[in-house]
Structure 1
Amino acid sequence: MSIAFLVTTMIAVATPGTGVLYTLSAGLAHGRKAGVIAAFGCTVGIVPHVLATVTGLAALLHAGAVALEIVKYLGVAYLVYLAWTTLRDKSELVVDTAAAPRSARRIVVSAVLVNLLNPKLTIFFVAFLPQFATGFGEMVALSGVFMALTFAVFAVYGVFAASMRDRVLSRPRVVVWLRRFFATSFAALGAKLALT
């Protein structure tokens, strides 16, 4: 494994995108545990992209414009859905340790969908991994490193968001603006993906 691979992977993982945004949102809204669960879900959402890449399916998807367009617009639709539900959510965010947290299953499913319906990951794996991997085993190993770094970085984002929770949630206007920010960001990422 080269330093170039690690540096490029860290840049790709740490750069805010849909997964980071979702993890921040989960940590801020539901606490530290939810942020880490969201990071785990986003990491699991990479598995289908890895499997597609190592089996050669990603190259076929990349070559088949219709299949790639379908995946792309499913991703766009899901990002628009996330924007809409975030904007419509008027429930009050409160820090209440006695209250039942959001279901871990719901957080994981949403996080997996965020990355599963992200065709940029497939394109990234198709264009990126072959430059560093000479065979099947190395491709699997490097994919594992990519996933481990994704989980670690996203978990830090989620825990950081949760640590800011008390300060943010004590200011109702900030909560409203944060919801608008997350909704706008999801919509903007959807629009960017649609136009790519």
Structure 2
Amino acid sequence: MLSLETIITFFSASFLLALIPGPDNIFVLTQSIFQGKKSGLIIVLGLCTGLIFHTLAVSLGVAVIFQTSIIAFTILKIVGAFYLLYLAWQIFHASSEKIDIKNNITIDYKKLYYRGIIMNITNPKVSIFFLAFLPQFTNANLGFVSFQMILLGGLFIVATILVFSSIALLSGTLSNIFNKSKNSQMILNKLASFIFVVLAMKLAITKQ
């Protein structure tokens, strides 16, 4: 069993890392402003479900493939980049009509959840990050290293949920301001689309 000191140190580090601006928390920020805080929270659940995949990948050694195989790494990042461009295209051509957040009529939460999962899974850098980060806090003398990494991955997910949910709740309040104006909604659509294009380009040029 991991020591309390290790758990506290790891959780604190994970919390701080989740605060660093990156594709995932920017994704939460834009979606929360665009469609409200509930949508942002659903995205958070999707992203964190994706983190379960990365945790298991590292624990089972699958992440090594992305670290050692240029082909596997390139394929996954290209898929991720094209998916971000697809999201950008959808938002850019979205209707400029105001979204009824109160009644949640126009929002497909299941689709948002799956979108968060795909967004996270198709970023090979997450698996490689986990591969480099989690083992630093394991202790081979305790045995069951894979189980230790699963436990650490779970703690990282908890820290991520706390940080990303806070982002969703705080930025979600801004959506009410934007939804009062048709013009501001159009501007927000274009801005969100631009952000996703930038994220796609950044992922596409990411090196192994």
Change (3 A) 1:82 1:98: closer
SS in 2 for 1:91: coil
Q: How big is the shift at 1:9?
A: 1.5
With the length of structure 1 as denominator, give the TM-score of the two structures: 0.90
Partner of 1:183: 193
CA-atom RMSD, angstroms? 1.9
Q: 2:59 aligns with which of 13, 33, 54?
A: 54
Larger radius of gyration, structure 1 or 2? 2
* 8 Å CA contact 2:54, 2:121 repeated in 1: yes
Q: 1:92 aligns with which of 89, 97, 104?
A: 97
Instruction: Please tell me the residue identity of whatever aligns with 1:182.
Output: A
Q: Which segments of structure 1 move beyond 4 Å, counting only runs of 4 or more?
A: none
Q: How big is the shift at 1:96?
A: 5.1
Q: 1:28 aligns with which of 19, 29, 33?
A: 33
* 8 Å CA contact 1:83, 1:182 repeated in 2: yes
Q: 2:183 aligns with which of 158, 170, 173?
A: 173
Change (3 A) 1:99 1:144: closer
SS in 2 for 1:164: helix
Aligned length: 196
Q: How does 1:2-41 map to 2 (within 5 A)?
A: 4-41=9-46
State the distance in 1 between where 2:164 and 2:104 align: 25
State the distance in 1 between where 2:107 and 2:75 align: 31
- Structure 2: 5+ residue runs without aligned partners? 1-5, 140-144
Change (3 A) 1:164 1:72: same
Tell whether 2:74 aligns with 1:64.
no
Q: How big is the shift at 1:3?
A: 5.0
State the distance in 1 between where 2:101 and 2:111 align: 19
Instruction: Please tell me the residue identity of whatever aligns with 2:82.
Output: A
State the distance in 2 between where 1:97 and 1:2 align: 40
- Structure 1: 5+ residue runs without aligned partners? none
Q: How big is the shift at 1:148?
A: 0.9
Q: How big is the shift at 1:48?
A: 1.3
Instruction: Please tell me the residue identity of whatever aligns with 2:182.
Output: P
Q: How big is the shift at 1:154?
A: 1.3
* 8 Å CA contact 1:29, 1:93 repeated in 2: no
With the length of structure 2 as denominator, give the TM-score of the two structures: 0.85
* 8 Å CA contact 1:87, 1:180 repeated in 2: yes
Q: How big is the shift at 1:64?
A: 1.3
* 8 Å CA contact 1:38, 1:108 repeated in 2: yes
Identity %: 28
Tell which deviates more after alignment, 112-121 or 95-104. Answer: 95-104
Tell which deviates more after alignment, 83-92 or 95-104. Answer: 95-104
State the distance in 1 between where 2:101 and 2:157 align: 32
State the distance in 1 between where 2:106 and 2:132 align: 39
Q: How big is the shift at 1:195?
A: 1.1
State the distance in 1 between where 2:19 and 2:83 align: 22
State the distance in 2 between where 1:94 and 1:61 align: 40
Q: How big is the shift at 1:59?
A: 1.0
Q: How does 1:37-186 map to 2 (within 5 A)?
A: 37-95=42-100, 97-98=102-103, 100-134=105-139, 135-186=145-196
